[in-house]
Amino acid sequence: MLIATLIAAGRLDDRLLKASLERLDDARFLGWVDEGDAADLAVGDSAGTRAALEGWEGVDLVVQPARHRRKRLLVADMDSTIIGQECIDELADYAGIKPQIAAITERAMRGELDFAAALKERVALLAGLDASTIELCLAERIRPNPGAETLIRTLRLHTVETILVSGGFTAFVEPVAKTVGFNRFEANVLGVRDGKLTGEVEGRIVDSTVKRDTLVEARESLGLEPEMTLAIGDGANDIAMVEEAGLGVAYRAKPALADVADARLDHHGLDALLWAADIGRRHWVAD
């Protein structure tokens, strides 16, 4: 059986439920996850349900098999997903070159540029920047997206392994992972010498392949079926891991990712994914 979780926090009433059911040929109401916020429908197929219900203003939809609805592994992108910023763009602002670097970032996230090459190009432009600027940027600019801490801390309470995997840098990713509550993280290392950025990335580059491989390796290590995994991201660099996951979610995503994801989260905070896992508010760990 497929379950469609209809999410419209604070405005999901009988009228909206009725309108949803009228758009579907063989759907039926299963019950509330949280009354007025999220409800479950039994539906016949995923593509047809998404075509009929996606795109309503203020409404998000997650369609998935009832079996393994509660995942055991979450792998999440960081920039513009778990946090609301692109760290390298914000760091570039302190060097006075944000527009130049942000333009490259945007093209890379849309899939128009090779990620590794685009990363090296952007990092090279930061050569000579004082490394202490990273701490300043973290304190002044970097903030988790709404619901991020609630999502991760609640999932961990329900024995879900959580991994933050980022094409960004450990200097940002490590403190964000700690703040939000992830079990562990994977990210790139910025070169630093004599207190200045060298303009190089040290070691392997965490690209789309590494992101997917991180999910696969964790899944196999935990002995999980593919359907027991969840991945979420926003850009083209996340496509491989989102397609690999049992449930792949696009968060405020670029078209390249939104087009291939199993579900889109366009209107609600990240904690809305708890409703898709049949976890009501009374079981949430507040931010």
Catalytic entry in 37, 40, 79, 262:
79
Q: Which two tokens stand for residue 97?
A: 């070159």
Is the distance from CB of 213 to CB of 231 less than 8 angstroms? no
Written as one string, the DSSP assignment of 171-197 is: HHHHHHHHHHT-SEEEEEEEEEETTEE
Residue 133 to residue 151: CA distance in whole angstroms: 30
Catalytic entry in 40, 60, 77, 89:
77
**Does residue 79 carry a catalytic annotation?**
yes
Alpha carbon of 97 to those of 88, 126, 191: distances in Å?
11, 9, 19
Q: Of 210, 261, 259, 209, which is closest to residue 233 (Cα–Cα)?
A: 261
Q: Which two tokens stand for residue 182?
A: 């992830």
Q: Which two tokens stand for residue 264?
A: 């889109």
For the chain, what percentages of helix, strand and coil (3-state, to nearest 5) are there? 45, 25, 30
Query: Helix (H, G, I), strand (E, B), or coil: what is residue 154?
Result: helix
Is the distance from CB of 46 to CB of 62 less than 8 angstroms? no
Residue 88: CB atoms within 10 Å? 25
Q: Which two tokens stand for residue 137?
A: 């940027």
Query: Helix (H, G, I), strand (E, B), or coil: what is residue 121?
Result: helix
Query: Helix (H, G, I), strand (E, B), or coil: what is residue 138?
Result: helix
Catalytically annotated residues: 77, 79
